[in-house]
Amino acid sequence: MGRPLLEVERVSVHFGGLAALSEVSLAVEPGQIVGLIGPNGAGKTTLFNVVTGLIRPARGEVRFKGEAITGLPPFKVCWRGIARTFQLVRILPALSLIENVLVPLYFGRRDGGAGEAEARRLLTLVGLEARADDPAHVLPLADRKRLEIARALATRPELLLLDEALSGLRAAEAQRLMELIRAIRAQGTTIIMIEHIMKAIMTLSDRVVVLHHGEKIAEGSPEEVAQAPAVIQAYLGPHAPSAASE
């Protein structure tokens, strides 16, 4: 294995007395899809906030391509090559779809970026080219999620962080979005996806990392993680039948 694209080393975050993350470490190899799972409040979104510079950890380090990025402001993390989507979709509702993609495309670029042709290519990739000139606020949730992904891709990330991209979608919509996630990885973008939908995590992820109460409790292939007693307990509670008693 070569050098990891992203390394999170012993990161801790506290909110008052609550340990949202305790000494969490993980490494992501280029080209992987990593699933990040855990019950509600486990610290998943907080970890994305640390990696993208929204939250500075009390302790620990984040490295991207071998360089420390801990404490960099979000726009600088973005320039380094990390983009994200949000659990609650963030788009620019008053602007058209094409304008929504042009804003991050031009963001921080003196050369003006590749312009409208590139924005249209990204809208085509996510399946929204026919609606390029519609205002974003008319879109249903599934299309908002696609638009947000196009906006993230417009910053040309090497690493894309998806926070519950599939949640709230109907099965057929979720299936199509899973195909898009595969296509994005096939273009060379590494992905970490937070997801509650186990089927999606199990079919898409090369590796899965499990958080619970701010601690990493398991890591491995989807099959390994699904069978780990600590994971079964975290999801089903302390009275869950152990794997041995099946």
In the complex, which residues of this chain contact ligand ATP (CB under 6 A)? 15, 18, 20, 38, 40-46, 87
- Residue (of 48, 61, 42) closest to 90 by Cα position: 48
**Closer CB to ligand ATP, residue 38 or residue 157?**
38
The residue sitting closest to Mg ion, measured at its beta carbon, is 45
* Count of Cβ atoms closer than 10 Å to residue 94 Cβ: 10
**Closer CB to ligand ATP, residue 36 or residue 126?**
36
Q: Quote the DSSP letter at residue 55.
A: S
**Residue 85 touching Mg ion (CB under 5 A):** no
Residue found under tokens 């499990």? 210
Residue 25 binding target from ligand ATP, Mg ion, none, CB below 5 to 8 Å by type: none
Total residue count of the chain as it appears in this document? 246
Q: Quote the DSSP letter at residue 42.
A: S
Axis crossing angle, helix 171-186 with helix 141-154, rounded to the nearest 10: 10
H-run or E-run covering 59: strand 59-64
Residue 32 binding target from Mg ion, ligand ATP, none, CB below 5 to 8 Å by type: none
Residue 81 binding target from Mg ion, ligand ATP, none, CB below 5 to 8 Å by type: none
Binding segment for Mg ion (CB under 5 A), chosen from 31-39, 84-92, 207-215, 221-229, is 84-92
Q: Quote the DSSP letter at residue 242.
A: P
Site map 16..55 versus Mg ion, x via CB under 5 A: ----------------------------xx----------
